[in-house]
Structure 1
């Protein structure tokens, strides 16, 4: 019974990845948008400018969808077809790799065409930096950094937690990551209230970010890079970033692409000076396209690994059941 559930999970995750590759994000009735409205309602009832209130908010906003996902997984434990469909739809909704790569390619097209106004208008689709004063090199850098970081957040993270914990893992990860985007940033309103969400997101991404970096190293030849150089830059520069996770992905991407990332970032009234990652020159539009291609390859590899892990667990469960049966018959 357990192995059938795990097999259904593996097939569902694979189908969800295929749906994302074919269609990108659902254009209407996106479940993540619905979760955002639910989280905003919880925030209205729990907000206070203090960390304990933020912890309560995070517990409710994450706990409710995870509990519902666990219930759905239990209800479909003897219905492999229904479970496969449920996991497929949830995986599709949780993944954002195809849309991420598409946004990166759009930015590359606008930069290639010299249309800075359109390129600046495109940047908010990728990150929260103020694009108003950015030139082509800074727009290219922001895009490459966003694509590298979000390959973990939008692809590898949900697949990793799906491989580890099935449907509740996919739902829980997407809830945590969405809360971080909503309240985890540094602002007057969320400096304390958003701490729990931000720290939980850091914890949830500790392993996925490093898996993303490792897959980026392996995939470097696809974009003309060298795995050895990508590995060297990742190990040297991954810890320089203020985020414990983003720097892993960005450093590996810088090494794979042979470029230099980092520098001055403006977020509204807040300015951050980020350390440089990598040894090459600043990214150009061609590097934006390469980053998008690298993200697609890393995402495909992560999908294959996640499905293999879940299917492998099914095989081990089946083998364990046969062994137990043999022991019982011998006794």
Structure 2
């Protein structure tokens, strides 16, 4: 893992934490979303409601959007090999794939409204960042929703793209044609955007969104479990606690219909010591989810803030480990010479 590539990822992480996603800047996910929306209309017109055609069209959309996103990242990486300006653009592109600051701002924005006597502003603000119905939520349910989105989206929006960046730092030096940090990060963001736009079990999307949703599940699977095993270390526990944390997250998260959401939420629930899960409404329909860290106290504002701090500490831990590994071979070579 070349040190230079890891330093670029580190710089991107610092840029994300410093700037977030400026609203006036065109974001790569906006471009992906624009393309997905237009391809969806074309696909639904061609499929005419036939499940087989919708599945085929969904697979084609997934290949096209993920492939083009990865190719765009790969081309920017080749430009960065030849130009200092290309390196700067590459780092900005990497930062665009991370959502550390934007997640913090979204969660803290709701927390800031909770001390008000009327919870309605907090409900409306929460409704912008979660998929569940929020119009009837109590303050306790708002806090649980914040804790669950802070934990689940930490994996989806921060640690999964960071993992694929670091994987690209390992792959790309092996051969010039292999994808690097940006190519893999943008490929992942494309799959994640496909899942968020098409990954619903209703109407034509029950077939059209299958390929994108399954690819997103696959790409998040390993990063999610790495978070579960390393989060206890970021919380100050010993190595034995890391394996215990993974076991608890896998046990509690197993009944969740998502292969990753329940595991990521359970990992944070046990690390912070709060109970998550329970009944939520989506489009007026009640859905019961498994209880995570059952018997622990309900999430409060302090617990939500601890989750955000844990994510920041875990990100620093991952980057420090990557820097250590990247700098180790030259150090060993020098020591032996």
State if a TM-score over 0.5 links the two structures.
Answer: yes
What does residue 270 of structure 2 align with? 255
2:248 counterpart of 1:245: no
User: Contact conserved, 1:90 with 1:170, CA < 8 A, in 2?
Assistant: no
What does residue 293 of structure 2 align with? 278
SS of the equivalent of 2:202 reads coil
2:286 counterpart of 1:289: no
Whole-angstrom distance in 2 between the partners of 1:162 and 1:136: 38
1:44 offset after TM fit, Å? Answer: 2.3
2:139 counterpart of 1:136: yes
Return 35-44 or 93-102, whichever deviates more.
Answer: 35-44
Whole-angstrom distance in 2 between the partners of 1:187 and 1:308: 46
1:35 offset after TM fit, Å? Answer: 1.9
Deviations 1:96-145 (A, max 9, x none): 11111122222222223344111101112321111011111111111111
What does residue 117 of structure 1 align with? 120
What does residue 11 of structure 1 align with? 7
Counterparts in 2 of 1:160 and 1:59: CA distance versus 1, 3 Å: same
Q: 1:35 aligns with which of 32, 37, 46?
A: 32
Higher normalized contact order (CA 8 Å, seq sep 6+, divided by chain length):
1
User: Contact conserved, 2:17 with 2:101, CA < 8 A, in 1?
Assistant: yes
TM-score (norm 2): 0.84
Return 286-295 or 70-79, whichever deviates more.
Answer: 70-79
Whole-angstrom distance in 1 between the partners of 2:306 and 2:278: 20
User: Contact conserved, 2:229 with 2:243, CA < 8 A, in 1?
Assistant: no
Deviations 1:241-296 (A, max 9, x none): 21111112111111011111111111113331001000302212222222222222
What does residue 59 of structure 2 align with? 55
2:287 counterpart of 1:264: no
What does residue 324 of structure 1 align with? none
The number of residue pairs the alignment matches comes to 310
**Where in structure 1 do 4 or more consecutive aligned residues deviate above 4 Å?**
226-232, 306-309
Q: 1:205 aligns with which of 220, 231, 234?
A: 220
Whole-angstrom distance in 1 between the partners of 2:323 and 2:115: 38
Whole-angstrom distance in 2 between the partners of 1:185 and 1:93: 25
Task: Map 1:69-218; keep pairs closer than 5 Å.
Answer: 69-79=73-83, 81-165=84-168, 166-218=181-233
Whole-angstrom distance in 1 between the partners of 2:199 and 2:322: 27
What does residue 322 of structure 1 align with? none
Q: Which residues of structure 1 form unaligned runs of 5+?
A: 320-331
